[in-house]
Structure 1
Amino acid sequence: MGKKKMNKITNKTLLALAVSAVLQSGLISASEEGASEAKKNEMTESSETKASTDEADTNEGGLENVIVTSRKRPESLQDVPSSISTVNNEELKRIGAQSLFDLESLMPNITFTGGQDSKRNTRIVIRGLSTESSNVGLETGVGVSIDGVNMGRSASFNQSMSDIERVEALRGPQGTLQGKNTIAGAINIITKKPDGTTGGFVEVEAGNFNEQQIKARAEGTLNENEDIFAKISLLSITRDGISTNVYDGQDVETVKTQGARLQIVSEATDSLELVLSIDALHDELVTGGGTLIDGGPFLGPYMGVLNSEYAGGPPPGPETGKDTSLPTGRNVNMSETGVEERDIYGVALTATYDMSEGYTLTSITAWRSLDAYESFDFDYSAFQMLHGYENEEQTQFSQELRIAGDLSDDSRIVAGLYYFQQDAEGSAEVAILPQLFVFTGIPGAESLIQNGDVSTKSFALFGNYEYDLTDTLILSVGARVMREDKEIVYNQTPGSAIYIGFPEIELIDDFSETNTSPTVTLSYKASENVNTYVRVSKGYKSGGWNAGLVKLQPEQLAFDSESVTNYEVGFKTQFFDNKARVNAAIFLMDYDDMQVLQSRVIDGSSSDLITNAGEATSKGIEIDYNFILTENLSMKGGVAFVDATYDTFDTEEDGEPISYAGNQLTSAPEYSYSIGLLHDMPLESGSSIVSSLIYSYRDDSYLNVQNTEDRKVEGYGLVIASIGFISPNGDWDVTLWGKNLTDEEYLTSRRTDNMGLGLVLDSYGMPRTYGLRAAYHF
């Protein structure tokens, strides 16, 4: 079935790597005993809200100590027994990060797919594991949070990376502390908070495709006591199209974004801190929905001719003489260009109370909403046949209450309660346009309409207990017990018999599940700068429904929950007088009842649906590294190898049994790596020149479970570079930047149409972009 022949990463290989990791940690430990040890970085932050100084402490001439809050308390990255990559504000600025897609160049074993012409169809793949659809009946497999608030729908994930302090990417199941929808991993975005200083900046940027960007921030105190302070951040991005609709010459893949974030911090007492955050984002895009590369049996016979050549004279709609052939490159040829609009709002209140005996009580109360609308040409061609829209509306409320602190000199605890409520409604409508009569003789008909409304309530108890067995051996045990209740009201109404295969459906269904997601970790501190760990964790994602346009019967809509068990051995090291850092993890993940999107032929008609595939295994190794090569030159990057395949996957095509066992999971390249060089050159005037050069590579991967060659993404590499000048007192700077400098053309998605017409559509990553950025700080 088109399986890829790969060099498999065997269990024996993983065992050998694990033994090697332990031996290496011992050798490094032995070598350090004879060398001068770097002074241990003291962690002075007392609450999570003050951990935003993520790279504060540093040894003279050594690497900065990265502070993370992935375990709900501030601690050094090197002390966390888990596979984590971090990117700080300066690194985000150097790569010109505008969205989550840009993080891929610095994070091994993490892939972002979905296409740059849509903000609402973002898919995040960690260790080859993810969720492949965005309908409201399906949960995401990777959790994304902003300042501790989980975003319930993937359509909210791809936001502007503005005013960000750092990003933490956690690989492997994180349900114990990060919560629901983290079966593959989690991405935590931490914004910059006001700290009482008065100042701000204005940043302007101009680039090719007429890209124009303005960012601004202002902050200061609001009262005479200087214990209440605020910050406001503004963002505006516009860009012309990077492709063209050859039908009418209109720009496609344009961007128009406005955003704002207001934060108010109160430190009116020594023990209580309140942080109020309000954010808003509006996107407008002109989209193609995908480049049509194959008209299939429905449109194929009519491609490449002029409308005026059809029998019966010029059909209504397209102008006489319009070329209806397939477009070239990433262009589209559509009678109507699509439009996407998205509005995201959020309000959160975080209260941190420093109790007696060193305990900290934290409350996060949050409300968020999403409204995403997209209209597009459902036949994706120059013919005026099918037109429609998709819409998703969502509101969520969450409340987290937790306590963290030291039970004794050798034990620590984090425990809490979490409540989440969400209403998500997805709808779609397809209308038949008059020109379809020219081909079929069937007059226009009423629309095909679909609506799915899913309500979710979940309540969880979670906790993690850490105990020092000895001065060097630490045992950590945690678990989350979650109860989740879901209900769906689903309707699909075909307005005419012409909608072949789409049945009329009225469904009301519900289910409840209780799950326990445990984690057990044993850490060994071989020396001051060498930590090793063994970790076993379980992850879970609840079941749901196929709630989009479907060619299914009501009893076929539901699918079951999925689960994974993760086995991980890792080590975290610093050496060469703290000028080198290498963190690595060797993992094996066993998946049961994996939820998979597949195209199936049912009664001769193609249909995409989510099913439980059976079992899958993802195993491999991932490494993050950071080196200070000279006083002014450093190198940062990572490398990952993964073998992610289906162990059992029995299904059928038109009643015939078929197996995809042994096939590679979708969007799971066997290896990926990145190499980044960062250079700072001080000048005698006190100013400096800063530059960066980053290369990242992704191996071949597949976009369907069948692993067919026509759904294969060839391996590709991307180059990012920047060079900038910083004034002597740092009050202004200017930067020249470029991304995908070799203008690599690479697929991020290849899919079939929603109507089951056999149309094949491509979405691409960004082409070469470049620009000039200038900022003034006050």
Structure 2
Amino acid sequence: MRSPLPFSKPFAVLVALACAPAEGIELGQVMIQESERTELEAASERLQQVPGASNLIDLTRVEQGRVSSNQDVLAYQPGVYAQSAGNEGIKLSIRGSGINRAPGSHGSGVFVMLDGLPLTGPGGTPYELLEPLWLSRAEVLRGANGFNKGSLALGGAVDYITRTGYDAAPLQVRYEMGSHGYRKRQVSSGQVLGDLDYYVALTDSDYDGYQNHTQGNSQGIAANVGYRFNPNLETRFYLRYRETDNELAGRVSKDSIEHHPRAANPVYVARDASRPQPGSTWLANKTTFYLDDDSQLETGLVYHDYPMDLREGANRLKVAYTDVSGSLNYHRRDTLFGHESKTTLGWRTTKHLPNSGSSEFVRIPVGNTAGFAPGTKTRDFSYQGSDSALHASNDLELVPDLWLTTGLALIYTRRESDVTYPASGGKVSQHDWDYAPRVGLRYDFTPQLQVYGNISRTVEPPHPWALIWSSNRYFPAGSGAATGLQSTPVELQNQTATTFELGSRGESAIGRWDLAWYYSAVRHELLTVETQTATATTSQIVGEVNASPTVHQGIEAGLDSLLWERAAVGKVSLRQAYTFSDFHYRDDDTFGDNRLPGIPRHYYQAELRFDHPLGFYAGINTQVASKIAVDYANSFYADHYTLLGATLGYASPKHDWDTWLDLRNLTNKRYAATVTPGYNDKGQDIARSTPGEGFGVYAGVSYSFR
């Protein structure tokens, strides 16, 4: 009776093995493989029960190539746009979420979780703890479909699931190396020891970078330990700690990408711009109580400390963030008027601790700070915020195979910001209640054909730091080193959207497919724009504003096809992902119906692959993107591009040896990978883009001692 609940089948296998004779050591491998299979299948089954679009990513496939950042994890996923910003940070946009926010220290627009617990806080989503080699799988719930995860973001939720003792080898070593000085190493171990299991991984990397002045390195540890007290109670503790240090090349122009693709912005080189992350810590616990065969209660508690040391401008910004999160989820299965019913009640909250804030110091005495010694304090800030969501949903089977989903979430957000030194220009404090209803239907015509639809609302508050950096009020002359810097925070409204979605997924002669169409009417969209360009005497300032009404609509399509198969020879398969994104203003007074800049309108990825029964594989792949507007006036565009790549490797049938060769950008195409938009460039080629990586050769090997 416990089978629909998480971890039940692996637990049953564990009990059987505990009772087995000692000489049956090989059964431990069977248990690990069985647990891997059932966990992935259970995740797939859960996502199939959501009346909306989702992605399930098995890291086993991803690890058959270079795994340097989450761009590699999120490749070939319909509806997901993920591009490297020249280092570990990626620009991630789902359904236009955070479309114009600069890739860097904090992502926006998507609610990111680690093992079902919050990573995203009021300050955004830092990237340094998202080491992809620590993962077993990733689950993406696009748009409002992240509802049951407690996500109310426009882009939905991404849940990164760490390996445990049940799906890790007792000892594994992995080494990657390649072009542009890239090297990555990991050693990990995971085992089941009676009622206890553990996983621990040590990872480090270093690279010179494709673009000049993009050298970086990282080192970190991930660990978790779980214990089953009895069949009705289990708990798991998590630790992640990681340090990163990245040089910054800044944005460059289209002409620079075409003629000098590896050149950095001269201003950033002169300033030796960099972004050290002194060390981020994520500690968490998740405990599950199986109350009976049809209900369970899950509690979560998270401590997250993520300081930053930003040295990219003329001033140095030292930022302190500490969040505490709590969550509570109750799941129940009943029979209601003779119909099967599944109910979820959830609560989650994340709050900045009082030490959250930042201090700014003179780094290079230029402009208004000329004459002040390096290290002179310019400003102190305070950042405070909290996000709390209470959500309830129900899935009711109206007739066989037709399910009605209903839900309602209440969200309370608090944002406070103040410049406390050299003087307070006036504290801004915002407290908002909002709501997010949801209604959906899904119908399984056959086990191979499902259709769905939903109408949902999302709510996204601004970040506390945006209240200061978006201000147009400055310290006057005579304010010392703070002269000319923002003095007074501004108020920003919560971004809301109402989304209508229709879709279908299934399997047929053409393969396994997923197709979704959505339309979002967005109000008060939080859009980013560069308000001051970095020059020899000024630092770059990127502000955020609430836009007039906008529309986000698009089509997301994925298809995995088996083209040919012979048992003794192998198989040929093709996977494809296409995303059409139409994001534009709705009768704006200045920009009319202009496109929102930042990502391509058309984005296509595909891989054609041959797999041999002995474990050898080879594939060719492509990535195609249309041109990207680089300003809100749509006066200038980054060019469209087509990339080609190839892979060759061997995955041992015994699951011990893996080795691969990964060739990127075979034609050495010069293109803009990301764009940070301006307001109105008047057709000029302004430095707003990050160049994509040129031709690269990467190789790797891993060995698992089982």
TM-score by length of 2: 0.82
Give the structure 2 partner of residue 344 of structure 1: 280
Q: Is residue 170–residue 186 contact of structure 1 (8 Å, CA) maintained in 2?
A: yes
Cα deviation for residue 478 of structure 1 reads 0.9
SS in 2 for 1:275: strand
Amino acid at match of 2:468: A
- Superposed CA offset, 1:58-92 (max 9, x none): xxxxx9996465xxxx7254443211122211221
Q: Is residue 489–residue 508 contact of structure 1 (8 Å, CA) maintained in 2?
A: yes
> Is 1:206 aligned with 2:177?
yes
Give the structure 2 partner of residue 679 of structure 1: 610
Q: Is residue 291–residue 327 contact of structure 1 (8 Å, CA) maintained in 2?
A: no
Amino acid at match of 1:220: Q
> Is 1:716 aligned with 2:641?
yes
| CA distance in 2 between partners of 1:450 and 1:133 (Å) | 24
| CA distance in 2 between partners of 1:361 and 1:81 (Å) | 23
1:643 to 582, 588, 592: 582
2:149 to 173, 178, 183: 178
- Superposed CA offset, 1:135-178 (max 9, x none): 99999211111111222244523632113111222222246323
Give the structure 1 partner of residue 659 of structure 2: 734
Q: 1:732 to 1:550 in 2, by over 3 A?
A: same
Amino acid at match of 1:482: I
| CA distance in 2 between partners of 1:419 and 1:521 (Å) | 25
Give the structure 1 partner of residue 479 of structure 2: none
Give the structure 2 partner of residue 771 of structure 1: 698
SS in 2 for 1:94: coil
* Matched length: 640
TM-score by length of 1: 0.75
Larger RCO of the pair (alpha carbons < 8 Å, separation 6+): 1
SS in 2 for 1:105: coil
> Is 1:127 aligned with 2:95?
yes
Give the structure 2 partner of residue 358 of structure 1: 294
> Larger deviation: 180-189 or 205-214?
180-189
SS in 1 for 2:52: coil
SS in 2 for 1:682: coil
Amino acid at match of 1:148: G
| CA distance in 2 between partners of 1:137 and 1:634 (Å) | 37
2:201 to 228, 233, 244: 233
Cα deviation for residue 477 of structure 1 reads 0.2
| CA distance in 2 between partners of 1:617 and 1:263 (Å) | 42
2:547 to 613, 619, 628: 613
Give the structure 1 partner of residue 507 of structure 2: 574
Write out aligned runs for 1:448-487 (5 A).
449-487=378-416
- Superposed CA offset, 1:660-712 (max 9, x none): 121111223221111122321124xxxx2122322122211223322221xx2
> Is 1:522 aligned with 2:445?
no
> Is 1:548 aligned with 2:469?
yes
- Superposed CA offset, 1:321-343 (max 9, x none): xxxxx977433443342232112
Q: 1:51 to 1:78 in 2, by over 3 A?
A: farther
SS in 2 for 1:558: coil
| CA distance in 1 between partners of 2:490 and 2:701 (Å) | 52
| CA distance in 2 between partners of 1:393 and 1:527 (Å) | 53
Write out aligned runs for 1:371-410 (5 A).
371-376=307-312, 378=313, 387-408=314-335, 410=340
| CA distance in 2 between partners of 1:767 and 1:142 (Å) | 29
Amino acid at match of 1:361: L
Q: Is residue 373–residue 391 contact of structure 1 (8 Å, CA) maintained in 2?
A: yes
SS in 2 for 1:396: strand
Structure number with greater Rg is: 1
- Superposed CA offset, 1:77-112 (max 9, x none): 444321112221122113423212224531233223
| CA distance in 2 between partners of 1:490 and 1:68 (Å) | 49
SS in 1 for 2:270: coil
Q: 1:114 to 1:391 in 2, by over 3 A?
A: farther
> Is 1:280 aligned with 2:241?
yes
| CA distance in 2 between partners of 1:105 and 1:771 (Å) | 17
2:456 to 514, 537, 559: 537
1:596 to 523, 527, 538: 527
- Superposed CA offset, 1:393-443 (max 9, x none): 211111111111211251111112222212442444445537x79xx9x75
Amino acid at match of 1:625: L
Q: Is residue 598–residue 677 contact of structure 2 (8 Å, CA) maintained in 1?
A: no
Q: Is residue 106–residue 124 contact of structure 2 (8 Å, CA) maintained in 1?
A: no
Which residues of structure 1 form unaligned runs of 5+? 1-41, 57-62, 245-251, 296-325, 379-386, 494-503, 651-658
Give the structure 2 partner of residue 84 of structure 1: 54
Amino acid at match of 1:344: S
Cα deviation for residue 538 of structure 1 reads 0.3
Q: Is residue 528–residue 677 contact of structure 2 (8 Å, CA) maintained in 1?
A: no
> Is 1:700 aligned with 2:627?
yes
Cα deviation for residue 600 of structure 1 reads 5.7
Which residues of structure 2 form unaligned runs of 5+? 14-29, 31-36, 475-486, 566-570
| CA distance in 2 between partners of 1:648 and 1:484 (Å) | 29
Cα deviation for residue 607 of structure 1 reads 6.7
Q: Is residue 47–residue 360 contact of structure 1 (8 Å, CA) maintained in 2?
A: no
Cα deviation for residue 254 of structure 1 reads 1.2
| CA distance in 1 between partners of 2:136 and 2:468 (Å) | 37
Q: Is residue 307–residue 318 contact of structure 2 (8 Å, CA) maintained in 1?
A: yes
2:188 to 217, 223, 233: 217
Give the structure 1 partner of residue 497 of structure 2: 564
SS in 1 for 2:300: strand
Q: Is residue 532–residue 541 contact of structure 2 (8 Å, CA) maintained in 1?
A: yes
2:215 to 238, 245, 254: 254
SS in 1 for 2:582: strand
Give the structure 2 partner of residue 21 of structure 1: none
Amino acid at match of 1:689: F
- Superposed CA offset, 1:626-683 (max 9, x none): 1222232222221122221100333xxxxxxxx1121111223221111122321124
1:584 to 507, 511, 515: 515
Give the structure 2 partner of residue 413 of structure 1: 343
| CA distance in 1 between partners of 2:384 and 2:641 (Å) | 41
